[in-house]
Copies of this chain bind each other. A is one copy, B any other.
Amino acid sequence: MSSCYGRNIKISIFGQSHSPAIGVVADGLPFGFKLDTEELAAFMARRAPGSSDLSTKRKEPDSFKILSGLKNGILCGAPFAAEIENSDTRSKDYSQFKDTPRPGHADYTAQVKYDGFQDEAGGGHFSGRLTAPLCLIGGICMQILKNEGIHIGAHVERIAGIKDERFDPVNISPADFSDLSQMALPVLDSDAGAKMKEAILDAKELGDSVGGIIECAVTGLPAGVGDPMFDGMENLISSIVFAIPAVKAIEFGAGFDACDMLGSENNDSYIVKDGQVVTETNNHGGILGGITSGMPLIFRAGIKPTPSIFKAQKSVSLSEMKEKTLEIKGRHDPCIVPRAVPRIEAAAAIAVCDALLEYKKYK
Protein backbone atom coordinates (compact mmCIF):
# COMPACT_ATOMS: atom_id res chain seq x y z
CA MET A 1 0.00 0.00 0.00
CA SER A 2 2.08 2.81 -1.12
CA SER A 3 1.46 6.44 -1.61
CA CYS A 4 5.17 7.03 -1.28
CA TYR A 5 7.57 7.80 -4.13
CA GLY A 6 11.19 8.60 -4.57
CA ARG A 7 14.72 7.75 -3.66
CA ASN A 8 16.11 11.19 -2.94
CA ILE A 9 12.98 13.27 -2.69
CA LYS A 10 10.68 11.01 -0.74
CA ILE A 11 7.08 12.08 -0.98
CA SER A 12 4.23 10.66 1.02
CA ILE A 13 0.75 11.73 -0.04
CA PHE A 14 -2.23 11.44 2.27
CA GLY A 15 -5.91 12.10 2.30
CA GLN A 16 -9.27 11.07 0.97
CA SER A 17 -11.56 13.21 -1.08
CA HIS A 18 -13.75 13.88 1.95
CA SER A 19 -11.32 13.39 4.87
CA PRO A 20 -10.59 16.46 7.02
CA ALA A 21 -7.60 17.27 4.86
CA ILE A 22 -5.34 16.02 2.11
CA GLY A 23 -1.66 16.78 1.91
CA VAL A 24 1.88 15.66 1.47
CA VAL A 25 5.23 15.29 3.16
CA ALA A 26 8.38 15.62 1.07
CA ASP A 27 11.66 14.63 2.60
CA GLY A 28 14.98 15.35 0.93
CA LEU A 29 14.25 18.58 -0.93
CA PRO A 30 17.45 20.62 -1.28
CA PHE A 31 17.79 23.12 1.56
CA GLY A 32 18.57 26.80 1.15
CA PHE A 33 16.09 27.36 -1.66
CA LYS A 34 13.72 30.32 -1.33
CA LEU A 35 10.21 29.21 -2.20
CA ASP A 36 8.00 31.51 -4.24
CA THR A 37 4.64 30.73 -2.66
CA GLU A 38 2.70 32.98 -5.03
CA GLU A 39 4.12 31.18 -8.04
CA LEU A 40 3.28 27.92 -6.31
CA ALA A 41 -0.31 29.02 -5.70
CA ALA A 42 -0.58 30.04 -9.35
CA PHE A 43 0.63 26.61 -10.42
CA MET A 44 -1.86 24.94 -8.08
CA ALA A 45 -4.66 27.08 -9.53
CA ARG A 46 -4.05 25.55 -12.96
CA ARG A 47 -5.02 22.16 -11.53
CA ALA A 48 -8.03 23.31 -9.55
CA PRO A 49 -11.50 22.85 -11.00
CA GLY A 50 -14.01 25.59 -11.47
CA SER A 51 -11.71 27.86 -13.41
CA SER A 52 -13.36 27.49 -16.81
CA ASP A 53 -16.59 26.28 -18.35
CA LEU A 54 -14.74 23.14 -19.46
CA SER A 55 -14.54 21.72 -15.99
CA THR A 56 -16.78 20.84 -13.09
CA LYS A 57 -18.39 23.59 -11.07
CA ARG A 58 -17.09 22.09 -7.83
CA LYS A 59 -15.03 24.68 -6.07
CA GLU A 60 -11.79 23.31 -4.74
CA PRO A 61 -9.78 26.40 -3.97
CA ASP A 62 -6.79 24.20 -3.07
CA SER A 63 -5.48 26.85 -0.74
CA PHE A 64 -2.66 25.01 0.93
CA LYS A 65 -1.20 25.57 4.37
CA ILE A 66 2.49 24.87 4.82
CA LEU A 67 3.01 22.95 8.04
CA SER A 68 6.77 22.54 8.14
CA GLY A 69 10.01 22.58 6.21
CA LEU A 70 10.47 26.31 5.87
CA LYS A 71 12.47 28.86 7.85
CA ASN A 72 11.85 32.45 6.75
CA GLY A 73 10.34 31.16 3.52
CA ILE A 74 13.44 29.11 2.71
CA LEU A 75 13.58 25.31 2.57
CA CYS A 76 15.43 24.44 5.77
CA GLY A 77 16.27 20.76 5.32
CA ALA A 78 13.48 19.45 7.56
CA PRO A 79 10.73 17.59 5.68
CA PHE A 80 8.35 19.90 3.85
CA ALA A 81 4.72 19.26 4.73
CA ALA A 82 1.54 20.95 3.62
CA GLU A 83 -2.16 20.31 3.85
CA ILE A 84 -5.25 21.36 1.94
CA GLU A 85 -8.48 21.33 3.89
CA ASN A 86 -11.47 19.59 2.42
CA SER A 87 -14.44 21.88 2.64
CA ASP A 88 -16.89 21.55 -0.23
CA THR A 89 -17.74 17.88 0.23
CA ARG A 90 -21.07 16.17 -0.40
CA SER A 91 -20.61 12.68 0.93
CA LYS A 92 -24.17 11.65 0.25
CA ASP A 93 -23.49 11.55 -3.48
CA TYR A 94 -21.28 8.51 -3.15
CA SER A 95 -22.92 6.05 -0.80
CA GLN A 96 -24.54 4.03 -3.59
CA PHE A 97 -21.24 3.30 -5.36
CA LYS A 98 -20.11 0.89 -2.65
CA ASP A 99 -22.82 -1.48 -3.73
CA THR A 100 -23.11 -0.49 -7.36
CA PRO A 101 -19.65 0.35 -8.61
CA ARG A 102 -19.21 2.94 -11.32
CA PRO A 103 -17.72 1.50 -14.52
CA GLY A 104 -14.22 2.79 -15.18
CA HIS A 105 -13.70 3.89 -11.55
CA ALA A 106 -11.83 2.21 -8.70
CA ASP A 107 -15.07 1.60 -6.78
CA TYR A 108 -15.13 -2.14 -7.38
CA THR A 109 -11.41 -2.84 -7.12
CA ALA A 110 -11.16 -0.83 -3.88
CA GLN A 111 -14.18 -2.63 -2.46
CA VAL A 112 -12.53 -5.99 -3.07
CA LYS A 113 -9.09 -4.89 -1.97
CA TYR A 114 -10.12 -3.28 1.30
CA ASP A 115 -12.95 -5.68 2.14
CA GLY A 116 -15.39 -2.78 2.14
CA PHE A 117 -13.44 -0.69 4.66
CA GLN A 118 -12.30 1.89 2.09
CA ASP A 119 -13.62 5.42 2.26
CA GLU A 120 -15.77 5.58 -0.84
CA ALA A 121 -16.86 9.21 -0.42
CA GLY A 122 -15.76 11.26 -3.41
CA GLY A 123 -13.57 8.41 -4.57
CA GLY A 124 -11.65 8.40 -1.30
CA HIS A 125 -7.90 8.07 -1.74
CA PHE A 126 -8.44 7.37 -5.45
CA SER A 127 -9.93 10.78 -6.13
CA GLY A 128 -8.31 13.03 -8.71
CA ARG A 129 -8.29 15.52 -5.87
CA LEU A 130 -5.26 13.68 -4.49
CA THR A 131 -3.24 15.11 -7.37
CA ALA A 132 -3.34 18.48 -5.58
CA PRO A 133 -0.58 17.44 -3.13
CA LEU A 134 1.35 15.97 -6.07
CA CYS A 135 1.10 19.33 -7.82
CA LEU A 136 2.24 21.08 -4.68
CA ILE A 137 5.52 19.19 -4.54
CA GLY A 138 5.79 19.21 -8.31
CA GLY A 139 5.42 22.97 -8.31
CA ILE A 140 8.24 23.28 -5.78
CA CYS A 141 10.42 20.97 -7.87
CA MET A 142 9.70 23.06 -10.96
CA GLN A 143 10.98 26.14 -9.12
CA ILE A 144 14.11 24.30 -8.01
CA LEU A 145 14.73 23.03 -11.53
CA LYS A 146 14.09 26.43 -13.13
CA ASN A 147 16.78 27.79 -10.85
CA GLU A 148 19.17 25.33 -12.50
CA GLY A 149 18.04 26.23 -16.04
CA ILE A 150 15.74 23.24 -16.40
CA HIS A 151 12.20 23.98 -17.63
CA ILE A 152 9.15 21.77 -17.86
CA GLY A 153 6.06 22.40 -19.94
CA ALA A 154 3.18 20.49 -21.43
CA HIS A 155 0.26 20.92 -23.76
CA VAL A 156 -2.83 19.03 -24.83
CA GLU A 157 -1.67 17.01 -27.82
CA ARG A 158 -5.10 15.56 -28.49
CA ILE A 159 -8.68 15.58 -27.21
CA ALA A 160 -11.45 13.45 -28.67
CA GLY A 161 -9.23 12.63 -31.63
CA ILE A 162 -8.53 16.29 -32.46
CA LYS A 163 -4.79 16.80 -32.71
CA ASP A 164 -2.67 19.74 -31.71
CA GLU A 165 0.75 20.25 -33.26
CA ARG A 166 3.55 18.53 -31.41
CA PHE A 167 6.51 20.19 -29.78
CA ASP A 168 9.48 20.59 -32.11
CA PRO A 169 11.54 17.90 -30.40
CA VAL A 170 14.86 19.50 -31.24
CA ASN A 171 14.27 23.22 -30.91
CA ILE A 172 11.66 23.41 -28.23
CA SER A 173 11.93 26.60 -26.21
CA PRO A 174 10.99 27.24 -22.57
CA ALA A 175 9.29 30.42 -23.76
CA ASP A 176 6.53 28.22 -25.20
CA PHE A 177 5.94 26.76 -21.76
CA SER A 178 5.28 30.17 -20.32
CA ASP A 179 2.55 30.88 -22.88
CA LEU A 180 0.98 27.47 -22.45
CA SER A 181 0.81 27.84 -18.69
CA GLN A 182 -1.53 30.83 -19.12
CA MET A 183 -4.15 28.92 -21.14
CA ALA A 184 -7.17 27.08 -19.73
CA LEU A 185 -6.76 24.65 -22.64
CA PRO A 186 -3.05 24.78 -23.41
CA VAL A 187 -2.40 24.07 -27.12
CA LEU A 188 0.15 25.13 -29.70
CA ASP A 189 -2.47 25.47 -32.46
CA SER A 190 -5.37 27.66 -31.34
CA ASP A 191 -7.66 26.31 -34.05
CA ALA A 192 -7.20 22.80 -32.74
CA GLY A 193 -7.87 24.17 -29.29
CA ALA A 194 -11.16 25.69 -30.40
CA LYS A 195 -12.27 22.39 -31.92
CA MET A 196 -11.27 20.51 -28.77
CA LYS A 197 -13.32 22.91 -26.68
CA GLU A 198 -16.27 22.27 -28.92
CA ALA A 199 -15.86 18.52 -28.60
CA ILE A 200 -15.74 18.80 -24.82
CA LEU A 201 -18.90 20.89 -24.71
CA ASP A 202 -20.61 18.47 -27.10
CA ALA A 203 -19.76 15.56 -24.82
CA LYS A 204 -20.94 17.55 -21.82
CA GLU A 205 -24.23 18.23 -23.55
CA LEU A 206 -24.70 14.51 -24.11
CA GLY A 207 -23.79 13.61 -20.52
CA ASP A 208 -20.73 11.90 -21.90
CA SER A 209 -16.99 12.52 -21.63
CA VAL A 210 -13.84 12.62 -23.75
CA GLY A 211 -10.17 11.78 -23.22
CA GLY A 212 -6.92 12.85 -24.77
CA ILE A 213 -3.15 12.96 -24.79
CA ILE A 214 -0.75 15.32 -23.06
CA GLU A 215 2.72 15.98 -24.39
CA CYS A 216 5.35 17.08 -21.90
CA ALA A 217 8.90 18.31 -22.44
CA VAL A 218 11.86 19.01 -20.18
CA THR A 219 14.56 21.32 -21.50
CA GLY A 220 17.95 22.23 -20.11
CA LEU A 221 18.73 18.85 -18.59
CA PRO A 222 22.42 18.00 -18.64
CA ALA A 223 23.46 14.73 -20.30
CA GLY A 224 24.17 11.89 -17.88
CA VAL A 225 21.11 12.04 -15.61
CA GLY A 226 19.22 8.83 -14.94
CA ASP A 227 20.47 5.33 -14.33
CA PRO A 228 20.53 2.06 -16.21
CA MET A 229 17.82 -0.59 -15.91
CA PHE A 230 15.22 0.06 -13.25
CA ASP A 231 16.10 3.66 -12.54
CA GLY A 232 16.23 4.93 -16.08
CA MET A 233 14.39 8.17 -16.84
CA GLU A 234 11.59 6.25 -18.55
CA ASN A 235 11.16 4.05 -15.48
CA LEU A 236 11.24 6.96 -13.05
CA ILE A 237 8.82 9.08 -15.03
CA SER A 238 6.37 6.32 -15.91
CA SER A 239 6.24 5.08 -12.34
CA ILE A 240 5.07 8.48 -11.13
CA VAL A 241 2.93 9.48 -14.15
CA PHE A 242 0.77 6.36 -13.75
CA ALA A 243 -0.06 7.66 -10.25
CA ILE A 244 -2.26 10.27 -11.95
CA PRO A 245 -5.78 8.88 -12.25
CA ALA A 246 -6.93 8.03 -15.79
CA VAL A 247 -3.44 7.74 -17.31
CA LYS A 248 -3.36 4.47 -19.29
CA ALA A 249 -0.41 4.93 -21.65
CA ILE A 250 2.96 6.62 -21.93
CA GLU A 251 5.52 6.92 -24.68
CA PHE A 252 8.91 8.60 -24.90
CA GLY A 253 10.28 10.39 -27.96
CA ALA A 254 8.79 8.89 -31.12
CA GLY A 255 7.24 6.22 -28.87
CA PHE A 256 4.89 3.79 -30.57
CA ASP A 257 5.54 5.48 -33.92
CA ALA A 258 9.17 4.40 -33.67
CA CYS A 259 8.04 0.79 -33.72
CA ASP A 260 7.03 1.14 -37.37
CA MET A 261 10.25 2.85 -38.46
CA LEU A 262 13.45 1.40 -39.83
CA GLY A 263 16.51 1.65 -37.62
CA SER A 264 18.03 4.03 -40.13
CA GLU A 265 14.99 6.30 -39.77
CA ASN A 266 14.69 6.12 -36.02
CA ASN A 267 18.36 6.50 -35.07
CA ASP A 268 19.22 10.10 -34.30
CA SER A 269 22.52 11.17 -35.87
CA TYR A 270 25.04 12.94 -33.67
CA ILE A 271 26.34 16.29 -34.80
CA VAL A 272 28.40 19.06 -33.26
CA LYS A 273 26.50 22.32 -32.84
CA ASP A 274 27.82 25.38 -31.01
CA GLY A 275 30.59 23.24 -29.55
CA GLN A 276 28.11 20.75 -28.14
CA VAL A 277 27.30 17.19 -29.13
CA VAL A 278 23.62 17.09 -30.06
CA THR A 279 21.41 14.90 -32.21
CA GLU A 280 19.96 16.11 -35.50
CA THR A 281 16.57 14.61 -34.78
CA ASN A 282 15.12 13.55 -31.43
CA ASN A 283 13.23 10.31 -31.83
CA HIS A 284 14.90 9.09 -28.66
CA GLY A 285 13.12 11.79 -26.65
CA GLY A 286 16.28 12.83 -24.88
CA ILE A 287 16.85 9.43 -23.28
CA LEU A 288 19.21 6.63 -24.33
CA GLY A 289 19.85 3.67 -22.07
CA GLY A 290 17.71 5.36 -19.43
CA ILE A 291 20.12 8.30 -19.31
CA THR A 292 19.56 11.83 -20.58
CA SER A 293 21.38 12.83 -23.74
CA GLY A 294 21.11 16.57 -23.23
CA MET A 295 18.38 16.82 -25.88
CA PRO A 296 14.86 17.81 -24.75
CA LEU A 297 13.24 15.00 -22.80
CA ILE A 298 9.83 14.37 -24.35
CA PHE A 299 6.97 12.09 -23.44
CA ARG A 300 3.27 11.76 -24.03
CA ALA A 301 0.71 10.42 -21.57
CA GLY A 302 -2.65 9.05 -22.64
CA ILE A 303 -5.65 10.03 -20.51
CA LYS A 304 -8.80 7.96 -20.80
CA PRO A 305 -12.18 9.74 -20.93
CA THR A 306 -13.54 10.64 -17.49
CA PRO A 307 -15.38 7.57 -16.24
CA SER A 308 -18.07 9.67 -14.52
CA ILE A 309 -20.73 10.21 -17.15
CA PHE A 310 -24.41 11.05 -16.79
CA LYS A 311 -25.68 8.51 -19.27
CA ALA A 312 -27.23 5.41 -17.76
CA GLN A 313 -24.71 2.57 -17.44
CA LYS A 314 -24.79 -1.12 -16.75
CA SER A 315 -23.40 -2.17 -13.42
CA VAL A 316 -24.17 -4.71 -10.72
CA SER A 317 -25.40 -4.66 -7.16
CA LEU A 318 -22.66 -6.39 -5.21
CA SER A 319 -24.96 -7.29 -2.32
CA GLU A 320 -27.61 -8.79 -4.58
CA MET A 321 -25.16 -10.05 -7.21
CA LYS A 322 -27.40 -8.95 -10.01
CA GLU A 323 -27.23 -6.36 -12.73
CA LYS A 324 -28.41 -2.87 -12.01
CA THR A 325 -28.63 0.31 -14.04
CA LEU A 326 -26.53 3.12 -12.67
CA GLU A 327 -27.16 6.81 -13.11
CA ILE A 328 -24.53 9.14 -11.79
CA LYS A 329 -25.51 12.60 -10.63
CA GLY A 330 -23.46 15.45 -9.30
CA ARG A 331 -20.66 17.55 -10.71
CA HIS A 332 -18.10 15.94 -12.98
CA ASP A 333 -15.68 17.06 -15.63
CA PRO A 334 -16.65 16.07 -19.16
CA CYS A 335 -12.90 16.11 -19.85
CA ILE A 336 -10.11 15.97 -17.34
CA VAL A 337 -7.32 16.46 -19.89
CA PRO A 338 -6.78 20.23 -19.58
CA ARG A 339 -6.58 20.02 -15.80
CA ALA A 340 -4.25 17.04 -16.06
CA VAL A 341 -1.63 19.16 -17.83
CA PRO A 342 -0.12 20.63 -14.65
CA ARG A 343 -0.36 17.19 -13.01
CA ILE A 344 1.82 15.71 -15.73
CA GLU A 345 4.27 18.60 -15.42
CA ALA A 346 4.35 18.11 -11.64
CA ALA A 347 4.99 14.38 -11.91
CA ALA A 348 7.79 14.96 -14.40
CA ALA A 349 9.31 17.63 -12.19
CA ILE A 350 9.46 15.36 -9.17
CA ALA A 351 11.01 12.50 -11.15
CA VAL A 352 13.58 14.80 -12.75
CA CYS A 353 14.43 16.51 -9.47
CA ASP A 354 14.95 13.13 -7.84
CA ALA A 355 17.16 11.93 -10.69
CA LEU A 356 19.17 15.11 -10.56
CA LEU A 357 19.99 14.59 -6.88
CA GLU A 358 21.05 11.03 -7.68
CA TYR A 359 23.30 12.42 -10.39
CA LYS A 360 24.92 14.88 -7.99
CA LYS A 361 26.06 12.17 -5.59
CA TYR A 362 28.66 11.07 -8.09
CA LYS A 363 29.73 14.41 -9.51
Contact = CB atoms under 8 A, between A and B. Distances in A.
A305 B25 contact: no
Nearest to A104: B267
A14 B229 contact: no
A273 to B, nearest CB: 10
Nearest to A280: B314
Copies in the complex: 4
Contacts of A358: 1, 361
Listed from nearest, the 5 A-B pairs whose CB atoms lie closest are: A106-B289, A209-B263, A249-B251, A78-B125, A269-B314
Contacts of A235: 238-240, 242-243
A263 B210 contact: yes
A4 B229 CA distance: 8
Contacts of A285: 248
A111 to B, nearest CB: 9
Interface string A252-268: 11111011111111111
B288 A106 contact: yes
A242 B253 CA distance: 13
A238 B250 contact: yes
Interface of A: 1-5, 7-8, 10, 12-16, 19-23, 25, 27-28, 30-32, 65-71, 74-81, 83, 101, 103-106, 108-110, 112-115, 117-119, 124-126, 130, 158, 160-161, 203, 208-213, 223-232, 234-236, 238-240, 242-243, 245, 247-256, 258-272, 275, 277, 279-280, 283-285, 287-294, 302-309, 311, 313-316, 318, 321-323, 357-358, 360-362
A358 B280 CA distance: 37
Contact of A228 (B1, B262, B294): B1
